[in-house]
Amino acid sequence: MNLTIAILIFIVGISIGSFLNAVIWRLHTKENFLKGRSYCPKCRAHIRARDLMPVMSFLLLRGKCRDCGKSISWQYPLIELVTAVAFVILYGVFGLTISFFVAAVYTGFLVIVFMFDLKHYLILDRVMLPAAIVAFFGSLLIGLSIWNILLGAVIGGGFFMLQFLLSGGKWIGGGDIRLGAVMGLMLGWQGVLVALFISYLVGSITGVILIFSGRKSWQSRLPFGVFLTLATFIALVWGDAIASWYSSILGYQ
Ligand SMILES: [Zn+2]
């Protein structure tokens, strides 16, 4: 891992995180995210060019809009930093390879789904459809076989489809089914099993913590896409290691 390249990737990651913030905001307001300037969601004043520096501007403005003084969501610097750190992790694991670029694009989609589900409890088809197309071709590009990719999608989508049917649509929404299929396209069949296992582990631990800290009740809905995207990233990076560790526990080699 070359430190100069890692720093450059961090800076690029911060800028892409900034773009993802704009995408998340404009998906919510249904604006075109390739056109138009950024504005303050509270007072609608256009944001000056010098205040558009990712993370830095947030710190310099002490988290407040220059025009109306209302606080800017912590979401903005957080997404920028998370994207940057994720990109550096990917570089550390894959180096500057085609796998790195494909995984970085997948991460961009995962960040959008993560944040949008956390804020709005929604997984949008306008995100899942392009994600599915990109994941199919991206996984072909990094050498997954077409059968591996399609089997992954059937396992991921089918897993949630089954719960959807069993619960009459109460536990699971259509967005979860489509996200499950996209996870399979991104990870292949082994990777999607690893991701589903991790998401249930992380999801149930978080659920129990939230219930016992009094922030949620047993009846509360959890934005499950948050755990699924997090688990997909972990499986993307460490999936092979986790799968071989798990099969060594079971005694297979
Ligand atoms: Zn403002």
Block mean pLDDT (10 aa), the chain, length 253: 94 94 88 74 84 85 90 90 97 95 98 93 93 98 96 96 86 88 96 93 85 73 87 92 80 63
Do 51 and 63 touch, CB atoms closer than 8 A? no
Task: Give dist(CA 18, CA 79) in Å, integer.
Answer: 7
pLDDT at 35: 67
Cα(72) to centroid(ligand 1), Å: 8
Q: Is the dihedral of CA 116, 120, 124, 126 positive or negative?
A: negative
Nearest to residue 186, comparing CAs of 224, 231, 123? 231
DSSP 104-147: HHHHHHHHHHHHHHHHHS---HHHHHHHHHHHHHHHHHTT--HH
Task: Tell me, in angstroms, the distance from the centre of ligand 1 to residue 70's CA.
Answer: 6
- pLDDT on residue 218: 63
DSSP assignment string, 52-95: -STTHHHHHTTTB-TTT-PBPPTHHHHHHHHHHHHHHHHHHHH-
The residues, any chain, with a CB within 8 Å of residue 97's CB and separated by 6 or more, are none
63 C-alpha vs ligand 1 centroid, how far in Å?
A: 11
Q: What is the pTM of this model?
A: 0.90
CA–centroid distance, 78 to ligand 1, in Å, is 19
The token duo for 189 is 């069949």
44 Cα–ligand 1 center, Å: 6
pLDDT for residue 242: 82
Q: How far is the CA of 58 from the centre of ligand 1 (A)?
A: 13
Positive or negative, the CA dihedral 14, 23, 223, 245 is negative
Per-residue confidence (pLDDT) for residue 219, from 0 to 100: 63
DSSP state of 43: T
**pLDDT for 243:** 78
64 CA to centre of ligand 1 in angstroms: 8
Per-residue confidence (pLDDT) for residue 173, from 0 to 100: 80
- Angle, CA 173 vertex, CA 106 and CA 34 arms, to 5°: 40
Distance set, CA 109 to CA 83, 114, 180, 230 (Å): 11, 9, 14, 11
Spacing, Cα 76 to ligand 1 middle (Å)? 14
CA 71 to ligand 1 center in whole angstroms: 8
Q: Which two tokens stand for residue 51?
A: 């205040």
Ligand 1 centroid to residue 32 C-alpha, Å: 21
The residue extents of the domains of the chain are 1-96, 122-253
CA angle 192, 75, 237 (to 5 degrees): 25
Cα 242 to the center of its chain, rounded Å? 20
Residue 253 pLDDT = 53
